[in-house]
Structures are given as C-alpha cells and as structure tokens.
Structure 1
Amino acid sequence: MILGGVLLLVGSVMFIVNAFKVSVAWGLGVLFLAPVGVVFLVKNWRESKMSFLLSLGGSALIVVGALLGHPVPTQ
C-alpha cells in the first residue's frame, strides 16, 4: 500500500506540473477543480499519459493492498 501511495502522489504531482507547463490557467484549474483535470487529460493526452498511468497504477495497488491486507472477520 505504501508503494501505491507513493506512485499515486508522484503521478498527481506530475499531472499538476504538466498542467502548469501548458499554462497557469490550466495548472490552477487542475489544482482546484477536478472536472478541469479530466478535460486537460483528454485534450493533452500525450503530455499527461505517463502521470495518469502512474496514478492509476498507484490507486490499483492501494485497493489491492487494502483488500488483501486486512481481511474482514466472519461471525
């Protein structure tokens, strides 16, 4: 789960940096408004692909770690 959290954090920071590289308006929009991030991802797929995939992989590792790490006790 820690590796997943690190990947998620790195991917998110890369995504925000990519948005600021395009323009300050995109960067602020991505930073404060989630729907703007989706629009930015679609419009700038080539620049944002790696950061998106890192975040997606990190999220998957967190979910898998949470499901496998703490089984729910049965009664």
Structure 2
Amino acid sequence: MDILVFVGVLIVVIGGIGFLIAAFRTSILWGLACLIISPVSIIYLILHWSEAKNPFFLQLAGLAIILIAGSMGASMPMQ
C-alpha cells in the first residue's frame, strides 16, 4: 500500500508542476500568482481551461490513486 500511495503522491506533484508550467507559459504574473496565492489557481483553471486541463486531470488521477490505496489499507486487518 505504501508504494501505491507514493506513486499517487508523485503523480500529484508532477501534475502540480505541470500546472505551474502552464501558468508561467501564459504569463509570468499568472505563474507567480498561482505559486504564491493558492485560490488564484482555481481562477486560472477556469479562465485557461484548455492549457490547464491536462495537469489538473493528472492531479485528480493521483488523488484517486491515493484514495484507493488508503481505502485498501483501511480495510486490511492490523498485523
């Protein structure tokens, strides 16, 4: 289970870096705002969906892997 959680976290981090790259490609101000002020990322995602959708979905996939690994670990008996 630990390896699956690690893979999920790695995918989320890669998606986050991809999101920041997309924001910086749009404008240095968008990139800095997304890096420093978290709620701006949601605004960027909505306004620049075509550039940000792939990293966003990659982050969602990583989150799904983490949740699946967590639910599998919760259902296993303690050893």
Match of 1:62 in 2: 66
Deviation, 1:67, is 1.8
How far apart are the structure 1 equivalents of 2:52 and 2:19? 6
Match of 2:39 in 1: 35
1:25-68 CA distances to partner (integer Å, 9 max, x unpaired)?
A: 10011011111000000011001110000001101111111121
How far apart are the structure 1 equivalents of 2:73 and 2:58? 22
Counterpart selection for 2:6 from 2, 16, 27: 2
Match of 2:52 in 1: 48
% identical aligned pairs:
33
1:10-36 CA distances to partner (integer Å, 9 max, x unpaired)?
A: 100000010001111100110111110
The TM-score normalised by the length of structure 2 is 0.84
Deviation, 1:2, is 1.7
Counterpart selection for 2:24 from 13, 20, 26: 20
- Stretches of structure 1 that go unaligned for 5 or more consecutive residues are none
The Cα RMSD (Å) is 1.4
Amino acid at match of 2:72: L
**Matched residues, number:** 73
- Stretches of structure 2 that go unaligned for 5 or more consecutive residues are none
